[in-house]
Structure 1
Amino acid sequence: MKFFYLIFSVILFSSCQNESKKLAGNTVSESEKISEVKKPELDLIKIKKKAEEALAFCKSKKMNTDFCVLIDMSLHSGLSRFIIWDFKEQKISNKYLVGHGCGNNSWSSDESKDNPEFSNKDGSHLSALGKYQLGERGRSDWGIHVKYLMHGLEETNNNALKRFIVFHSWNLMSDKEVYPKGSPEGWGCPTISNNAMRELDPIIQKSKKPLLMWIYN
Structure 2
Amino acid sequence: MKNILLFLFLALISCKDSTTTILFSDVIPVVEIAKDYSKINQEALTYCQAKGFNEDYYFLVDMSIHSGKNRFFIYDFIAEKITDKNLVTHGSCDKFEDNESKWEKAKFSNKPNSHCSSKGKYKIGKRDYSSWGINVKYWLHGLENSNNNAVERVVVLHSWKAVQNKEIYPKYSPLSWGCPAVSDEFMKVLDEKLKATDKPVLLWILE
TM-score, normalization by structure 2: 0.81
The structure having more radius of gyration, on CA atoms, is 1
| Residue 165 of structure 1, CA deviation | 0.5
The aligned residue for residue 42 of structure 1 is 34
Secondary structure of the 1:199 match is helix
| Residue 111 of structure 1, CA deviation | 5.4
Q: Runs in 1 of length 4+ with deviation above 6 angstroms?
A: none
Equivalent pairs, count: 177
The aligned residue for residue 146 of structure 1 is 136
Quote the RMSD (CA, aligned, Å). Answer: 2.0
Instruction: Tell me how far apart the structure 1 counterparts of residues 92 and 31 of structure 2 sit (CA, whole Å).
Output: 23
The aligned residue for residue 91 of structure 1 is 81
Instruction: Tell me how far apart the structure 1 counterparts of residues 107 and 32 of structure 2 sit (CA, whole Å).
Output: 20
Residues 4-62 of structure 1 show CA distances to partners (whole Å, capped at 9, x for unaligned) of xxxxxxxxxxxxxxxxxxxxxxxxxxxxx99xx9785530x2x1211111000000101
Instruction: Tell me how far apart the structure 2 counterparts of residues 146 and 42 of structure 1 sit (CA, whole Å).
Output: 31
Q: Which of the pair is proportionally richer in helix?
A: 1
Instruction: Tell me how far apart the structure 2 counterparts of residues 199 and 162 of structure 1 sit (CA, whole Å).
Output: 27
Identity of aligned residues (%): 45
Q: Equivalences for 1:61-210 in 2 at 5 Å?
A: 61-104=51-94, 112-210=102-200
**Contact 1:74–1:114 (Cα < 8 Å) also in 2:** no
The runs of 5 or more residues in structure 2 that have no matched partner are 1-24
Residues 110-167 of structure 1 show CA distances to partners (whole Å, capped at 9, x for unaligned) of 9534321100000100010000000000000100000000000000000000001100
Alignment equivalent of 1:60, drawn from 42, 50, 56: 50
The runs of 5 or more residues in structure 1 that have no matched partner are 1-32
Secondary structure of the 2:38 match is helix
Q: Flag the 1:41–1:172 CA change in 2: closer, same or farther, 3 A.
A: farther
